[in-house]
Chains A and B, each alone.
Chain A
C-alpha cells in the first residue's frame, strides 16, 4: 500500500506566551514541532505498513525550515519525504494550500492519504477535506481507528460528538487523523542518522506548474484573507472584588463565564 502522510510544521502553541507589556505573542524561542494530529497520522501509517506492507511517504508544504520536520518523520521510519516550498505558495489560505498539495500528491502517487485533523496554529481543520475534494476521493475525518480488509478496503471508526460510525471505504481515499488514532513513536537514534543521509525532494512552483492554476495559489489566489489579527487580554492579576455580597459575587462570576464563552 502506498501511504502518503501530509504533515505541517507548527510552532508549539502550548509554549507560546503573551508579552504583557506589548500585548504581542513572544514567538522567539518557541520550538517548532510536527503538528500533533499529523504525528498520529504518521504513526498510523507506519503501523499499517507493518501490517500489510508498502511504503510511507511524508509530504510537507512549508518554508525551508520545515526540512527538520521531514527528517523527524523519516527518523520515525517513513521511507521518503517531499518538501513543497516556493515563494509562489506563500500566503495561501486553506483552499490554495489544498490545491497545491493535491497537485503534488497526484504527481507523487498514493493509495491512501492521511492528514491530521487540525493544525494547532491555523486551527481550521479544513485542509484535509479540501485535499480530498481536489483529488476527487472519499474522505473520512475524525478517524479513531483503522483496519485493513483485503487488498483495497479500509474499515474506519469515525468519531462524532454523540456517536461513532463504522465506515467501509475503498482505496484510494483520504483520512484525517485524531491524536487518539495512534500514540506516536519516538525517532530512533539511528533512524536520525539515516534520515539525514537521505535526500528530501523539494517540489517548487516549476515542478508543479503544468498542473497548477497560478490563479488559485498564494496570497492572490486565496479566496479568504486575514483582515487583522489581535491578541486577547494578557493574563495577570485580574479583578479582585473585596466588598461584594454573595449575590453580587454570583452575578459577577456569571458575567465572567459569559465573557469567556464558558456558558
Chain B
C-alpha cells in the first residue's frame, strides 16, 4: 500500500496550489463580500482543465482520475470554498450524470462542451419540499409527442446563475415512487427556464445558488438521460461521487484555516512571547493537523477506490461525514487561536468557519451519510 502520490499527481497538485494562490486567493474576500462569483475566474478554471478532470480525453476532458480531482478540490478550497463547490457541482454532479448515463450523441453534444472548457453545468434535484427525501419530487415531466413538458421549482441549485446546462430531475410517473423519477438535460436557452436571485446564505456566499423554476419547459425526448424511471438511480450515483469532492472541500477549508492560524501564532506576541511558544497552542495545533490528516486519507482512499472501480459509496460517505464535522471543529478552534482577530473579516478565518457548515448539509446531510454507512454494514 503506497500512500505517496505519483509524480503526475504531485505536479497536478502543485499546479492546483499555484493557481489557487495566484488566481483565487486575491479574489476570495471580495467575492464573499459582494456575493458575486467572478466569471473571469470561472473562465480561467475552465481554461486550465480544473473543470474537467475525471473525464476522458475522448470527449475533450483532462483524462485524469478522482484522486486528482480530490487534490484539486482541496487546493482550491484552501483558498476559497465557493470556488470548490463551483467546480464540484459542475464535475461530480452535472458532468458525471451525462458521462455515466448519456448516449454517445448526448455525450458529444453536452458532455464535450462541459469538460473541454466551454460550458458550465449545474444539477437540479433539491426542491423546497424535497431535500433529504429526494424521492418526494414534485417537479413533473409530462410526455407530449416528441418532447416532455416540465413544470416545477428547484431550490439551492448551485451554479445556476451562470450555468449553460442544467441536469435536472422530474417525476414522470408518480405512482412508481422513486422509480417514477427521470433525468433530463435542459439548456439555459430553453423557454420557460427561469433562474431566480442568488439565495442569501451563511457561507460559500460567492457561489451562485438560486431557485430555478421550470414553467412549461419543452425538452426533447433525446434529452432524457437514461430510461424513464432511471432518474433516482442516476441522481444517487452522482451524489455518491460528489461526496468525495465535498470531503476534499472540507479538508481544504480546514487546512487553509489552520495554515492561516499557524502563520498568525508564529508572529503574534502576548505576555512577552510568541503564542506559538506556548505548549497549549502547540498541542492544539497538533490535534487539529492530526484530524485534518485523518480526513484527507479517508478522502484519498474513497477516491482511489472509485478509480479502481470498487464499491466506494460507503467509504465516500464516511469520508464526508468525518471531514465535514472535522472542518467545522477545526475552523472554530482556529478562530479561537486567533482570538479577536480571528473574528474579524480582515482575516480569512471567519469565512472558513462560515463556509465549513454547509459541508455537513449538502450533497447528503451527515444524517444521510449515517444512513448510507449503517445500511452498508448490514446490522439491521
A residues within 8 Å of B by Cβ? 68, 71-72, 75, 185-193, 195-196
Query: Cβ of B15 and Cβ of A192 under 8 Å apart?
Result: yes
Closest-CB distance, B277 to chain A (whole angstroms): 15
| A192 in contact with B11 (CB, 8 Å) | yes
User: Would you give the shortest CB distance from B31 to chain A, in whole angstroms?
Assistant: 20
List chain B residues, Cβ under 8 A from A68. 7, 11
How many Å lie between the Cα of A187 and that of B12 in the bound state?
8
| Cβ B15 vs Cβ A189 within 8 A | yes
Q: Is the Cβ of B68 less than 8 Å from the Cβ of A189? A: yes
Contact across chains for B64 and A189 when beta carbons are under 8 A apart: yes
Residues on B with beta carbons closer than 8 Å to the beta carbon of A193 = 8, 12, 62-64
Q: List, in ascending order, chain B residues with CB within 8 A of A75's CB.
A: 11, 15
Give the 5 A-B residue pairs with the shortest CB-CB distance, closest first: A189-B49, A190-B62, A187-B15, A189-B62, A196-B8
Assembly CA distance A186 to B18 (angstroms) = 8
B61 to chain A, nearest CB (A): 7
Contacts of B326 in A (CB 8 A): none
Which residue on chain B has the smallest CB distance to residue A187?
B15
Flag if B48 contacts A186 (CB, 8 Å). yes
Distance from B16 Cβ to chain A, minimum over Cβ atoms (Å): 8
Bound-state CA distance A190–B49 (Å) is 7
Residues of A within 8 A of B68 (CB): 189
The residue in A68, A190, A191, A196 that gathers the most chain B C-beta atoms within 10 A of its C-beta is A190
Flag whether B81 is at the interface (Cβ < 8 A): no
Q: Once the chains bind, are B11 and A195 in contact (CB under 8 Å)?
A: yes
Give complex CA distance A138, B57 in Å. Answer: 43
Known contacts A189-B15, A189-B52, A196-B11; 11 further A-B pairs (Cβ under 8 A): A75-B11, A188-B48, A189-B49, A189-B68, A190-B49, A190-B52, A190-B61, A190-B62, A190-B63, A193-B62, A196-B7
Q: Please, how many residues of chain B have a CB less than 8 angstroms from a CB on the other chain? A: 20
Q: Which of A189, A193, A195 counts the most chain B CB atoms within 10 A?
A: A189
**Contact among A72, A189, A195 for B72, CB-based, below 8 A:** A189
CA distance A186 to B48 in the complex (A): 7
| CA gap between A186 and B8 in the complex, in Å | 15
Within 8 A of A (CB), among B144-199: none
> Is B11 a contact partner of A186 (Cβ separation < 8 A)?
no
Q: Is the CB of A72 within 8 A of B48?
A: no
| Residues 1-28 of B contacting A (Cβ, < 8 Å) | 7-8, 11-12, 15-16, 18-19
Residues of chain A with a CB closer than 8 A to B18's CB: 186
> Which residues of B lie under 8 Å from residue A191 when comparing CB positions?
49
* A193-B62, A193-B63, A193-B64 given; A187·B11 CB < 8 A: yes
Q: Is B62 a contact partner of A186 (Cβ separation < 8 A)?
A: no
- Bound complex: CA A260 to CA B243 (Å): 56
A188 / chain B contacts, CB cutoff of 8 Å = 48-49, 62
Please indicate the chain A residues that have their CB under 8 angstroms from the CB of B63 in the complex. Answer: 190, 193
The yes or no answer to B288 lying at the interface (CB within 8 A) is no
A223 to B167, CA, bound (A): 68
Partner pick for A192 among B12, B50, B57, B61, CB 8 A cutoff:
B12
Contacts of A196 in B (CB 8 A): 7-8, 11
Residue of A nearest to B16 (CB): A189
Q: Does B141 contact A (CB under 8 A)?
A: no
B369 at the interface (CB under 8 A from A): no
A193 to B64, CA, bound (A): 7
> Is B285 among interface residues, defined by CB-CB distance under 8 A?
no
**Complex Cα gap A71–B7 (Å):** 10
**How far does the Cβ of B229 sit from chain A's closest Cβ, in whole Å?**
36
How far is the CB of A189 from the nearest CB of chain B, in Å?
A: 3
Which A residues lie within 8 Å of B19 (CB)? 186
**B206 adjacent to chain A (CB < 8 Å):** no
Q: Looking across the interface, which residue of chain A has its beta carbon closest to that of B44?
A: A186
**Which one, A185, A186, A190, contacts B57 given CB within 8 A?**
A190
The answer to the question of B53 belonging to the interface, with a C-beta cut-off of 8 Å to chain A, is yes
Q: Which B residues lie within 8 Å of A190 (CB)?
A: 49, 52, 57, 61-64
The 0/1 profile, CB within 8 Å of A marked 1, for residues 44-69 of chain B is 00001110110001000111100010
List the A side residues contacting B62 at CB < 8 Å: 188-190, 193
Whether B64 lies near A186 (C-beta < 8 A) is no
> What residue of chain B has the Cβ atom nearest to residue A72's Cβ?
B11
Contacts of A189 in B (CB 8 A): 12, 15-16, 48-50, 52-53, 62, 64, 68, 72
Q: Within the assembled complex, what's the spacing in Å between the Cα atoms of A192 and B53?
A: 11
B23 to chain A, nearest CB (A): 8
Measured CA separation A195–B12 after assembly (Å): 11
Q: How far is the CA of A190 from the CA of B48 in the complex (A)?
A: 8
B15: chain A residues within 8 A (beta carbon): 75, 186-187, 189, 192
Question: What are 16 A-to-B residue pairs whose CB atoms are below 8 Å?
Answer: A68-B7, A68-B11, A186-B15, A186-B19, A187-B15, A187-B48, A188-B62, A189-B16, A189-B53, A189-B62, A189-B64, A190-B49, A190-B52, A190-B61, A192-B11, A195-B11
- Whole-angstrom CA separation of A114 from B8 in the bound complex: 27
